Each structure stands twice: as structure tokens, then as C-alpha cells.
Amino acid sequence: MANAKLNFDVVIVGGGLVGLTAALACAQAGFKIGIVDLKEPTLQLNESFDGRSSAIAAASFKMMRALGVADALAEANDNHAGAITKILVSDGEAGQAPSPLTLYFDSAQIAEANEGEPLGYMVENRRMRLALIQVAEQSEHIHWIAPARITDIEAGPAQSKIALEDGRALSAALVVAADGRNSFVRKQAGIGVTEWPCNQSALVTTVEHDLPHEGVAHELFLPSGPFAILPLTGNRASIVWTETPRAAEAAMALSDAQFEAELARRFGDFLGEVKVIAPRWSYPLSFVHAKSYTAPRTVLIGDAAHAIHPIAGQGFNMGLRDAAALAEILVQARAEGRDIGSELALAEFEDWRKFDNTLLVHACDIFNRLFSNNIGPLKHARRLGLGLVDKVAPARGFFMREASGQTGELPPLLRGQAYSEPTKRAS
């Protein structure tokens, strides 16, 4: 990384997956980037730091290729991105066969529109973080400031001044909040949120199974919440098991053998014997949506702007779309000789991203409420709905394109175009 500099074009607060991606996108476009984080980057690479895996839509993975991250995910012949070629959505109850009325997506059915890509990829967060850091270390435009804690941010007419706890001072034309659902930057900027609980927790672990998963992602809706089996590389799968907070706490207290037995009861035997091969984690679930994505010389991206239920695996992809849109707006502002931290530039970002994100936040909430119950009429209606959508090819195709991130106005990076030369925003 570049030598320490106190003055930047953009300071990104939060060195998580979305913050790092935004840094790489803006750095590739030639902006000077500072990343401020509470932890040293190397401390975030341990397997115990984050047991989650992320679904990366096909369009989002094009962005990873354009940024060089996809190459960093491959070590010799070992690629850490597992292709999702099919998705099976079903409804049922623990220990029972799922309803025969299911929804089945196959990437081959939209191969032409999707340019032969799978619907997406599954990557362990620690692998993604390592790849992002490796690429960031090669950039002369990125400087990592960590460990560091921000004590104050003051937005001025030409730049923002950022005070650190250790006495250092930074300045930037734009501050990007990528510091999560409890964002310090968002609070400092006086931006309120709409927040509501799911009354659910997500249990997360990784399993190994006897039979190949063949790239199929399974989403089984149980009365307590969705149970997802997501294909990783090899004969492994990431498990996201949603329960009530009390049941999740009880599951975390089980012995390894008891936990594995409860998991198998929900999992079934279609992949042969299943063995837990990683620690288990539990995360409380809630929805958080910022009332505004911007403040003077400040913009929110990722979970700082919108934190959602993992029901559709879209949270990370929403953050990646934020990062790609932000980079494009900054590139266009610079090309037109405008201040990248101006109200006009920030208003463009909010206009581009907030409507889409608002729709997805509320759609995930409604979908979760609809499926996370055992009310007879609702149960029969949703099963019938799954079966009907599965039979209507245009509707199925729309949902597949949505799942692969191919709908809406896509910034150049999400179309796989790197910032090696000037680009024009799609009209």
C-alpha cells in the first residue's frame, strides 16, 4: 500500500467486505483512498472471526473479476468460489418431507441472458476478505489506517476533517460509511434509521457431506424460519438455520453430537451422511434502513444504509451494488469537473440506490413473514404460489435474472467493465 498520507479523495470507514470492495472500485478509478478500521486487517482473516459465507450474484461476481478479486480467490488449482447453478425453494416442517409444490431455478434456462454464468457463487467470508486484502495491498492508491478509532467528523465546505483517537487527523472530499448496521458515521452525521426486529436468530456453520451437491442451493422454509443449504467448493455446504432467539440459544448449548442430530433432522439424507466441520455461530436478525443515505460530504453503503434478513442472500449484493454505483458517480463527477463530495453527486447516489434498496428491504421482510409461520391458510397459499411460479416460464425467468443480479440499471463494474479507461453511465 502507499505511504501514509493524511489527505485523501475518499475515506472509507469500515474495512469489511463492502468497504474493501468500495475501496478497490474507487482506487481502480484513480482516487486516493484511506480505509479506517478498528482492527488490523490480518486479525480479520482467522476462521473464528466470521463463520459466514456469502452468496455473490452473477453480476456481482463480474465486478469481482473486473477488480481482480476473482483471480485472488483461486490458489493454484483450488478455487474458493463455489458455483450456484440451481436453486430449489420448498416449504415444509422439520423432520418431514417438504411439500411437492416447489420452485426450481436452473441457470441453463437463462444461459443466453446470463452469458453462460451460473446464478451466482458461494464464498466463505474469510476467503473473500483475504482476496480483497491481497488485491488492496497491490494498489498504490489505498492506505489502510488500522487499528484506529474515529472520535469526530466535521464536514466543511471543501472537505471533511476526521479526528482519530490517537491524535491523527485525516481529510477527504468524501467520507463513506461502511461500518455496519450500528454505524458510528451514520450516528455522527445525525441520520436516523427505521429498525424492526425479526424475532429470529441465524445459526451458521459449515458441513461436509458424502454426495456431491452439484451446485444446488436449497432453501427450505420451516415454521421458525428458512433453513438454507448453500453449495461451497467440494462436498461442503454453508448452513444458515433460522430459529426463534430462544431456540437458537438452546441449539448453541447442545453438544456437538446433539447439534449434528438436530441439523440432520432438518437436512435430510439426500446428500448422504452430513458432518459438521466448523464451529457454530449465532447472529440476531433484524432490519435496519437509514432514513437518508447521505449527509454533507458523507454517504452510507452496505449495512450502514440497509441491513436485511439473509432469506434471499441479497444483503452483500446490495452493498456491492452500492459500491459500484458510488464509484461510477464519482468517476462521472470528476470527468465533469465537479466536486466528488458535492450535494449533487450525493443526491445522484441516493436517487440511484435508495428506491431499489427500499423495495428489496421490504420484500425480504414480507417474504420472511409470509413463510415463517405455520398458519394453515397461509401455508397452503404459499405452497400453491411456489408451484404456480414454477410452472410460468416468464415469471421463473424474471426471478432467476433478479437472483443473478441482472436486472435494473447496472454500473459498469457490474457489467464486468474495469476502470482502465473512461466509461459512460448507461442511459
Q: What pLDDT sits at residue 374? A: 64
Element (H, E) at 334: helix 315-335
Q: Is the pLDDT of residue 294 over 90?
A: yes
Residue 281 phi, psi (nearest 5): -130, 160
DSSP annotation of 235 reads S
What kind of architecture, by CATH, is found in domain 7-88+123-195+286-373? 3-Layer(bba) Sandwich (3.50)
Q: What is the pLDDT of residues 296-318, one digit of tens each?
A: 999 999 999 999 988 777 889 99
Closest CA to 122 of 5, 2, 207: 207
Q: What is the pLDDT of residues 179-214, one digit of tens each?
A: 999 999 999 999 999 999 899 999 999 999 999 999
- Average pLDDT score over the chain: 87
Q: What is the pLDDT of residues 66-90, one digit of tens each?
A: 999 999 998 656 689 999 999 988 8
Q: What is the pLDDT of residues 213-247, one digit of tens each?
A: 999 999 888 888 889 999 999 999 999 999 999 99
| 8 A C-beta contact, residue 414 and residue 263 | no
Print burial letters for 246-267: b (CB count within 10 Å at least 16), e (below 16). Answer: ebbeebeeeeeeebbebbbebb
Q: What pLDDT sits at residue 276? A: 94
**Model-level pTM?**
0.90
Closest CA to 217 of 234, 235, 237: 237
Q: Quick one: cell of 307?
A: 441491513
Three-state SS at 322: helix
Q: Categorize the per-residue pLDDT at 2 as very low, low, confident or very high, splitting at 50, 70 and 90.
A: very low
